Structure 1
Amino acid sequence: MRRLSNNIDVKRRNRNQIFRYVNKHQRISKPEISHALHLSIPTVLHMINELLAMGLVKKDGELQSTGGRKAVAISPVHDKKSSIGIDITRNHIGLVHTDLSGQVLKYTRLSKPYKNDSAYYKALGAMAMDFKKENIKEEDAFLGYGISVPGIVEPEMERIKHSHALGITNVAFHVFTQYISGDTIFINDANAAAIAEIYNDDQPYDALYLSLSNSVGGAIIKNSDARSNEDNQIHDRLYLGDNWRGGEVGHTTLVPGGEKCYCGKNGCFDVYCSAEKLANLTEGKLGIFFEELEKGNKNFQKMWEEYLEYLAIQVNNLRMIFDCKIIIGGYVGSFIDPSIEKLREKAAKRNTFEKDASYIVPCRYRYETSALGAALQHIEKYISSV
C-alpha cells in the first residue's frame, strides 16, 4: 500500500512539475521539457497527455527543426482558470484580474474612502461583482477573490485582528465579503505585494519588501523554493511571525519623539516615508509630485531629499538586521527608479561593513501590486492541486 501511495505521489509531483514548467513558456517541445526537468521522455509524454485531457495545455503547431522530424509545440492554456484581487486602502479600492500566467490582465483603481458600515460593504460588493462581470467570461474558470488589507490578518480566526490604517479591530472576514459571491482569501497588503514580486522568479532569495504606500509595511521573504513541494503554498516563502506581524516595519521608531503617527505613537517610520507624505503636496496625486520633481520644482526636490535621507536610515537599519536584498515597493516604489542610485549612495554612507548598496532594488511590479498578490493566492492554490 505504501509503495502504491509513493507511486501516486511521484506521478502527481511529476505532473505538477511539468505543468509549472510549461505554464512559464509560450511554446515548448516534450524533449525540451525532458531535458530541463531531467525526466524520461515516456514520463513527459504520459503527463503531457494527462494535461491535454485536463485542458491545461494544448498542441500549438510545430517548432522549427535543426534537422530531422519537427517537434510538436506544447503551450499553456492560461485562461483555463483566473482570479480577481482586491486591495482595500484608507481611500481607494484597487482591483486586478489575473489568470494562470500570473500577469495583470486588467486593473482599475476607484476612489472609495473606507468606512466600517453597511453602505461601504455594499459598494465593495458591487465593485467586485461588476469587475467580475466585465472580465470573467466563464463561471467555471473563476477561482475566487483575494483581498488585501493594511492590517494584521488572522486566517485561523477568520478576522482582521487590527488595522490602524482602517481604524478597525477584530472585524470578521465575512463582514467584508457579505455582498461578495465567491471564494475569498484575505492577506496583509505588504505580504500580498511581496508575493506578486517573487511569484514568477526562478531564483529564490532572502529579501525584505518595503511597501511605501499610503501606509507603510513590509514583508520578509525567505530563501526557500516552496515550489518543490507539491502541496506548495506561496506563503511558505514569507516569514509571518508569531502573531502575523512579521515585517511590520512601518511602526518601528525612526525619530524618537518625532512627528505624531496615526497609530498614536511618535516618530514612526510610516510618518516619514509613507506615500502620503509626498502626495499631500499635490492634492493626493503622487504621480504629479514626481512630475514636478522631474521639472525641477525646488520645494519638491528639498522634500524628496529629506524623504530619501529618512528612507536610507531605515534601509540601512534593515540591512544590518537581515543582511539581505531590500526591495523598494508600494506606490513610491513605482517611481523610485530614477533615484535608486541616490538612495544607494545615502544608505552606503551609513553602512559600517560595505560601501556597495546594490542590495537596494526597485520593485518589478508598479501597478496594483497588492491586489495582484492577493489574487495569486488562488492561482497558486490551483496550480499546486494539478
Structure 2
Amino acid sequence: MAYYVGIDLGGTNIKAGVVSSDGELLNKLSIKTNAKRPMEDIIHDMGKLALDVIKDMNLEVEDIASIGIGSPGTPDNKEGLLVYSNNLPFLNAPMRKLVREVVDLPVYIDNDANCAAMAEAVAGAAKGALDSVTITIGTGIGAGVIVNGRVYSGFNQAGSEFGHTVLVSGGLKCSCGRKGCFEMYCAASALARMTKEAADANPTSLLNEEIAKNEGKTNARIAFIAMRRGDEVAKQLVDTYIDFLSDGLANTINAFMPEILVIGGGVCNEGDPLLLPLRERTMSRPYFGPGVKKTEIRIAKMGNDAGIVGAAMVGKVCLEDGLKGI
C-alpha cells in the first residue's frame, strides 16, 4: 500500500499527516509555526514533523511515495520554491531543497486553497467529479479549481484568485488595490463589517444587543442570530449578503462550469437560512442553455483536515504525472 505525507503550513500551526492513496487521513501531528523565526528553521521543522508523523505510524521513509506541501502564497512547484507569502517571511524560499535536507523524498508544493480543493475532489464533497471548484469563505475568499482531476492554477501557479475579481464596479477598495472585489462583499470579514455598519446606522436593531452580548465584538454570525430573532435590519442585511454571494458564485460557474461547486467556511454552518436562498439565487443566474446539465452546489466536508489531505493528494498526482520532485 502506498502512503503519502501532506504538510499544511499556516501562520499559526504546521500540520502533517500520513494519507492513503484514496485520501484517507491515517495519522496527523502539529506544531506551532512561530512565524517570526528564520525561514530555514521553519522549513526544516516541516521536514522534521514529516519524519515524526511517519515514525508515529510505525512506518519507514521508504514506505512513503512523496510529500506534498500546502502553503498560503504563490508557489513554484517546478523549481520547488515558495515565491511569496503574505503572512510568512518567505520570498523565493527553497522549500523543496530544505525539506529534502531532512527527509529524502520527492517534495511538491501548491497553494493551500488549491490543496483544499483537491481534498474535496478526492475524498470530500466533490468526490467522483473530475471537474470541481471549491470556494472557502473566511477572512478572504479562497478558491481552487480542479480540471480533469488536476489542479488548474495558470502558467505561474498564481491563478484562481476569485476573491479579487470585481463584483461591484467602483465599489469598496480592497487590500489588493482594486475596487469592488468579491471578497470585500462576501468574505466572513465583509459580513462582519456590514453588520457593524448596519448596527451603527440602526440603534434600535437587535444587532446592537447581539454585539453587546459578544463583548462588543462583531462577527459573521451576529446578523444570522438577530435575523432568527425577527430583526428586520438583520433580515435585510443577510438578504443583501446572500445576493452578493450568489452573484460571485454564479460568475464562478459561468467561468468554469464545474460539475460540483463546493463552498466552505464557518458561514456555511448557518444552515438553511443561508443555503436555501443561496442555492436558489445562484442557480438562477448562470447561463445554462436548454437541456444543459447544471452545476450542483455542495457544502465542504473535509474541514480542518483539508490542507493535509489535499497537499498529500497534490503530491500523489504530481508524482503520477512525472513532475520533478527532487
* TM-score of the aligned structures, taking structure 2 as reference length: 0.69
From 293, 308, 313, the equivalent of 2:247 is 313
Equivalent in the alignment of 1:239: 152
Equivalent in the alignment of 1:88: 9
Q: How does 1:254-293 map to 2 (within 5 A)?
A: 254-277=167-190, 293=224
Structure 1 distance, partners of 2:175, 2:100, is 28
Question: Contact 1:95–1:371 at 8 Å: present in 2 too?
Answer: yes
Deviations along 1:182-241, one digit per CA (max 9) or x if unpaired, are 42211122222222222267744433222334443323332x4xxxxxxxxx5xx33332
Code of the residue aligned with 1:93 in structure 2: it is: I
Structure 2 distance, partners of 1:321, 1:144, is 33
Gaps of 5+ in 1: 1-79, 225-233
* TM-aligned CA distance change 1:279 to 1:84, over 3 Å: farther
Structure 2 distance, partners of 1:341, 1:188, is 31
Question: Contact 2:7–2:67 at 8 Å: present in 1 too?
Answer: yes
Gaps of 5+ in 2: 194-210
From 347, 352, 360, the equivalent of 2:282 is 347
Q: From the CA coordinates, give the structure whose radius of gyration is larger.
A: 1
Identity within the alignment, %: 24
* TM-score of the aligned structures, taking structure 1 as reference length: 0.60
* TM-aligned CA distance change 1:123 to 1:305, over 3 Å: farther
Post-superposition offset of 1:99? 1.8
Post-superposition offset of 1:115? 4.1
Equivalent in the alignment of 1:221: 146
Question: Contact 1:193–1:369 at 8 Å: present in 2 too?
Answer: yes
Equivalent in the alignment of 1:198: 121
Equivalent pairs, count: 292
Question: Contact 1:308–1:343 at 8 Å: present in 2 too?
Answer: yes
Equivalent in the alignment of 1:148: 70
Question: Contact 1:194–1:219 at 8 Å: present in 2 too?
Answer: yes
Equivalent in the alignment of 1:186: 109
Q: How does 1:103-114 map to 2 (within 5 A)?
A: 103-107=24-28, 112=33, 114=35
Equivalent residue of 2:269, what SS?
Answer: coil
Question: Contact 2:68–2:108 at 8 Å: present in 1 too?
Answer: yes
Code of the residue aligned with 1:274 in structure 2: it is: A
Equivalent in the alignment of 1:47: none
- CA RMSD in angstroms comes to 4.2
**Alignment partner of 1:377 is 2:304:** no
Question: Contact 2:263–2:298 at 8 Å: present in 1 too?
Answer: no
Deviations along 1:262-315, one digit per CA (max 9) or x if unpaired, are 3343432233333555689989xxxx9669957947698776555433221111
Equivalent in the alignment of 2:60: 138
